[in-house]
Amino acid sequence: MNDIMDIRTGSGKNTAINENRQVIPCEVIRDILPLYHDRICSEQSRSLVETHLKTCAGCRQILVALDEEKFEKELRTETKEILQRHRKKERSLAFKTGIFLAGILILPIIIAVILTLPGYSDWKTNAVLIASMLLTAGMTVVPLISEKKKFSKTVIFSTCALLLVIFFVEMFFDNGGLLRFGEIAASTVFGISLFFFPFVLRQAELPEVLRNHKGLLAMSWDTLWFYLMIFLFALDYPQSFRDLIVVSSFFAAAAWLIFLTARYARVNRWIKSGIIVMITGIWTAVGSALGWLSVTDYDVHTEILICSLTAGFLLAGIGTVITNHWKNKQ
């Protein structure tokens, strides 16, 4: 199309003479050329254009450019259609594969249920078997049959199935009770969400106000499960209730300070790094001094504090100087 525009901006003095000796300006012919190219003009107009093209190289060049533009457009359309058909075929194949795997996984469940009815098998064992099959399905079938948000659906379904396995094992075999199940379940969800929840959030459709605060949502979610885990452990060990809550809050505060500094502090990355080093050093030193954290067999909390503060100031200062130097040099 650029070629067409370049040619059209040329001299407007070009003309042609038809059979009746009428002078037809190039501007008129070029207005008709798209209709002529698409074969939708009248026979009289077609005759005039063809006569003009015999003597006008500029208009012939525009016609060639129209042919190239049409070819590129058709090629893009055809490529898009081929890719769409290919994606549709892949989705269909993945869905069929998922259904086939689901059928294979359902067979042991059906057999276990049938054997349980007349008393041939232990229903507790079959419950664990069914939950295990659901866990396998969550990691194999769900990503195959899902069209969108495969990772999120896989993580959520697999986590629920894993919690079901833990529930049956604790209730039927270990006799741990609901409290012990709650401890293990909360610990499991906390560990899984710590690594996978940020990726689930990336695929989630959030309100506009929350889209730029996914890290804050992830931290809040992880903190919720962390405290739920600590609270359940504290209920199981009431003599350690205060210590568990205080120590966990101490280190949770450090994690939040590091996150808020890295995400929201309006300073350059060197100063952020220095602040994070100092926070880590201060919390390590204090935790070591209070006996909550063992770094070595010796009491080195003072040395840790001094080294971390020094390293933080040096990192922030030297980094800032280097950054400003490069900015001024550019």
* Cα–Cα distance, 251 to 284 (Å, whole number): 9
**C-alpha separations of 242 from 94, 247, 252, 255, 256 in Å:** 52, 8, 15, 20, 21
Phi, psi torsion values for 63, nearest 5 degrees? -65, -40
The answer to whether the CB of 236 falls within 8 A of the CB of 177 is no
Q: Which of 141, 191, 137, 145 is nearest to 165 (CA)?
A: 137
Predicted confidence (pLDDT) per residue in 246-282, tens digit: 999 999 999 999 999 988 888 888 888 888 888 888 8
The answer to whether the CB of 118 falls within 8 A of the CB of 150 is no
* Cα–Cα distance, 24 to 39 (Å, whole number): 20
Residue 94 has a pLDDT of: 58
Q: Name the band, by pLDDT with cuts 50, 70 and 90, for residue 5.
A: very low
Mean pLDDT of 57-65: 81
pTM: 0.62
215-222, long-range: CB < 8 A, 24+ apart: 215/259, 215/263, 216/263, 218/193, 219/255, 219/256, 219/259, 221/193, 221/197, 222/190, 222/193, 222/194, 222/197
* Cα–Cα distance, 314 to 277 (Å, whole number): 10
Q: Which of 21-25, 52-56, 239-243 has the lowest mean pLDDT?
A: 21-25
Mean pLDDT of 181-198: 90
Q: Which of 14-18, 111-115, 230-234 has the lowest mean pLDDT?
A: 14-18
Q: What share of the chain is helix, strand, coil (3-state, %, to 5)?
A: 80, 0, 15
Residue 24 host element (H or E): strand 23-25
Sequential DSSP letters for 197-224: HHHHHHHS---GGGGGGHHHHHHHHHHH
- CA–chain centroid gap for 317, Å, is 35
Dihedral sign, Cα of residue 190, residue 194, residue 200, residue 204: positive
Q: Is pLDDT above 50 for 13?
A: no
Q: Name the band, by pLDDT with cuts 50, 70 and 90, for residue 72.
A: low
Mean pLDDT of 43-72: 79
Collapsing DSSP to helix, strand or coil, 314 comes out as helix
**C-alpha separations of 67 from 5, 270, 309 in Å:** 15, 57, 71
Residues 6+ apart with CB under 8 A from 291: none
Residue 173 or residue 9, greater confidence: 173
Tokens describing residue 171: 């209730």
- CA–chain centroid gap for 131, Å, is 28
Q: Which of 277, 289, 213 is nearest to 250 (CA)?
A: 289
**C-alpha separations of 230 from 25, 243, 291, 297 in Å:** 87, 10, 19, 27
Predicted confidence (pLDDT) per residue in 17-45, tens digit: 444 445 678 888 888 878 877 777 888 88
Sequential DSSP letters for 250-297: HHHHHHHHHHHHHHH--S-HHHHHHHHHHHHHHHHHHHHHTTS--SSS
Q: Where are the domains of the chain?
A: 2-55, 180-254, 267-330
Mean pLDDT of 296-312: 70
Q: Is pLDDT above 70 for 208?
A: yes
Q: Pick the most confident of 29-33, 51-55, 95-99, 274-278.
A: 274-278
Residue 134 has a pLDDT of: 80
